[in-house]
Amino acid sequence: MNTKAANSGSGQTQSGRPARRSLADWMPKIVMAPTMIITLVCIYGYMIWTAVLSFTGSRMLPSYNFVGFEQYERLFNNDRWIVALTNLGVFGGLFIAICLFLGVTLAVFLDQKIRAEGAIRTIYLYPMAISFIVTGTAWKWLLNPTNGLEKMMVDFGFVNFKFDWLINPDMVVYCLVIAAVWQASGFVMALFLAGLRGVDGDLIKAAHLDGASTFTTYRRIILPSLKPVFFSALVILSHIAIKSFDLVAALTNGGPGYSSDLPANFMYTYTFTRSQIGLGSASAMVMLGCVLAILVPYLYSELRGERHA
Amino acid sequence: MKKIAFGLTTVALSLAAATAQAGEVEVLHWWTSGGEAAAINVLKEEMVGAGHTWKDFAVAGGGGESAMTVLKSRAISGNPPSAAQIKGPTIQEWGDLGFLTNLNDVAVAGEWDVILPQVVSDVMKYDGNYVAAPVNVHRVNWMWANPEVFRKSGASIPTTWDQFIVEAKKIKAAGFTPLAHGGQAWQDATLFEAIALSKGSQFYSSAFIGMSDKALRSQDMVDVFDTFKQMREFVDPGFSGRDWNIATSMVINGDAAMQIMGDWAKGEFTAAGKKAGVDYVCYPAPGTSGAFTFNIDSLAMFKVSGAEKQAAQKDLARLILEPKFQETFNLNKGSIPTRLNMPRDQFDSCAHASMDAFLASSTTGSLVPSMAHGMAVNSMVQGAIFDVVTNFFNDESMTSQEAVDKLARAVKASM
């Protein structure tokens, strides 16, 4: 926005002729147009196409024999889909909650003007620079009972130590949570740290003068003023959770059985390996619905806020 | 590495120059690992020798998933390759869509009906016409064993599943892993189908080819699930998600006693410098000695335009079934030729056993397609069976009766 204003401003002072001005006005739009068209076609166009396919009986190749809501019916009668959706609930809920908690805690501790803050910040933020594939593979080794943590503890002499979540169908989803939290909580910390640095110092001094303890200051004044940061973190984390695919692919490959499947893995399996494009599209639409359910209220509150300001 | 680079360059070139050359075949496949790439190179050389141009279209990865995705987009855009590595019932799916060409004249000239067992030629036909050429036969119901581990634990090679359980307990007591296994859906299914086959090929066929509700819900099927669940205690705790070749290396290194796996496992033993009959032994999976579950790779031929292209395609189909290619390809790949009665002195003892069983079972009706490797049912039904089987293997609370119920319902729902 700023660039655009500066451009048209300079156009005015340099020539003042209307033709030049209108070209300068149009320039950003012309430059943006290809990106805009690509976005419209490749993102929104294909989204609509997927929606159309989800109402067809497409199998190996897309076809257009419409079957109404049959694919959605089949989807919700499918055990594996229910497992994937439940996993998303457990994984998403825990992942977001733990990341937010750890992120805020770390940020508050780092905010205490400690020594070597820069180094510590980098260490905590570093996992975010790694792809989920690497995270998944590394945690697969760490959590594997025959060569990871369990073996190390047994070798140390704790013979009865047992940590086999990775191969336990009831617990494996928590392995996903561990790996994902390890990766993303540093990022949440960075977000909150930036927010904390933006809080007006006078406000804090005033609170201290009024006799508020550090804890109360954080709880009653500083953290409530970070509501926008909280929302941004929530939106970013929830879309990471919903689109998670690579983490599962690398860490568990959906196993044991299909107990650690997430909706994205379900979609891929059915669309591309089991020749059920219709069913896969239906599952993709449900995922889109989940994303929208989070994004729409967020955008609504954001846009309303802008109008008021 | 060089070969992959070469393959990539050819793909890039073929994309750049869309104009067709005379007598050219474009072959989409995912034979990209060392031995496989060498094997398919034989066909390339023969085609070049016959005066044609070979356009290699190798798409690596994902057990052919990526290749299939590429093939679908090429077919939709109206520009399919001459031939593509497609197997089993998927050939029928492509046939249904009307993409495949008719190879009957090549088949009649080459007497394919005579040199191929009928179960094999049935897979290659759509609507009674040949549309694909088989390149090799893998036997899936093999058991690979390390005799050293058996000697150390005082056990003997089991020939039935009941005996397997007895011997496996001895091996476990001696401190070895009785069964090397990887917890991936297709490996679970490979083990499961070997157990199912021990109930007789009649039962196997009606359950996994006919998909008869009666067979799927029978007492035999409950027994199969019971035995299958018992295998769970003979694998090591780290089996989850393990690749098949890592499991094979457990047998090679003497950590584990046995593995139920197709004959591609032989490649791992050979690569580790082990000798068949000395360092490792191959037996049919317990209770299945007379039977043969096959996994056949084939090249399906697509409708292409241009007389020269079509002539080259026919030549390709003809060369695939020639004894020379069948022998060299399969020596490289570890499988056996699809042609019956081939000279066999080049092959090793495991391959000989495979050939004998192939020939014998083709007359007794015990030659059956492998469900776990997509030869018996289409990908939808296969996926449904995989889900039940792998879930049952990992879920301690599910009973065999429940599994049988789930299996029958899942198969019905995906038909």
State whether B413 and A74 contact (CB < 8 Å).
yes
Which candidate, B282, B317, B305, B256, places its Cα nearest to that of B131? B317
What integer best gives the mean pLDDT of chain B? 87
Residue A227 belongs to a domain:
yes
Nearest chain B Cα distance for residue A99, angstroms: 27
Q: Say yes or no to pLDDT of B33 above 80.
A: no
- Measured between beta carbons, the chain A residues lying within 8 angstroms of B378 are 275
Torsion from C-alpha of B262, B264, B266, B270, nearest 10 degrees: -170
What's the complex ipTM? Answer: 0.70
The count of structural domains within chain A is 1
Please indicate whether, in this complex, the C-beta atoms of B390 and A60 are within 8 angstroms of each other: no
For the record, the structure tokens of A163 come out as 């940590």
Mapped onto helix, strand or coil, the DSSP state of residue A56 is strand
> Residues 263..302 of A with a Cβ closer than 8 Å to B: which?
269-270, 272-276
Q: In this structure, is residue A61 part of a structural domain?
A: no
Tell me, yes or no, whether A37 lies in a domain: no
| pLDDT tens figures, B238-294 | 888 788 888 999 999 999 999 999 988 888 888 888 888 889 999 999 999 889 999
Q: Shortest Cα distance from A104 to chain B (angstroms)?
A: 35
- Give the H or E element holding residue A161: none
Residue A52 is assigned to a structural domain of this protein: no
Range 27-66 of A in CB contact (< 8 A) with B = 59-62
Residue A242 in domain: yes
- Domain annotation covers residue A11: no
Structure tokens at A65: 């024999």
What domains, with CATH codes, occur in chain B?
2-138+296-357 (3.40.190.10), 142-293+368-414 (3.40.190.10)
Q: What are the C-alpha distances in Å from A229 to residues A91, A196, A234, B220?
A: 22, 10, 8, 61
CB contact under 8 A, A61 and B72: yes
**Domain assignment present for A4:** no
Residues of B in contact with A259 (CB under 8 A): 391, 394-395
Burial profile B106-128: b = 16 or more Cβ within 10 angstroms, e = fewer: bbeebebeebbbebbbebbbbee
pLDDT score at A62 = 84
b vs e for A49-77, b when ≥16 Cβ sit within 10 Å of the residue's Cβ?
Answer: ebeebbbbbbbbeeeeeeeeeebbebbee
The whole-number average pLDDT for the span B15-43 is 72
Taking an 8 Å cut-off on Cβ atoms, the answer to whether B237 and A147 are in contact is no
Q: A277: domain range?
A: 78-308
| Both tokens assigned to B366 | 């015990």
CB atoms within 10 A of CB A105: 13
pLDDT at B242: 84
Q: Check: CB of residue B132 under 8 Å from CB of residue B154.
A: no
Cα A153 to Cα A139: distance, rounded to the nearest angstrom? 16
At B344, the amino acid letter reads R
The CATH number given to whatever domain includes residue A146 is 1.10.3720.10
A251 belongs to a structural domain: yes
Tokens of B78: 């109206």
Position B132 scores a pLDDT of 94
| CB distance B58 to B30 below 8 Å | yes
Along the 309 residues of chain A, how does pLDDT read in single tens digits?
444 444 444 444 444 456 667 888 888 888 889 999 999 999 999 999 999 999 998 888 888 888 889 899 989 988 889 999 999 999 999 999 999 999 999 998 888 888 888 888 888 888 888 888 999 999 988 888 878 888 888 888 888 888 888 888 888 999 999 999 999 999 999 999 988 888 888 888 888 888 888 888 888 888 888 888 888 898 889 988 988 899 998 888 887 878 889 999 999 988 888 888 999 999 999 999 988 888 888 888 777 766 554
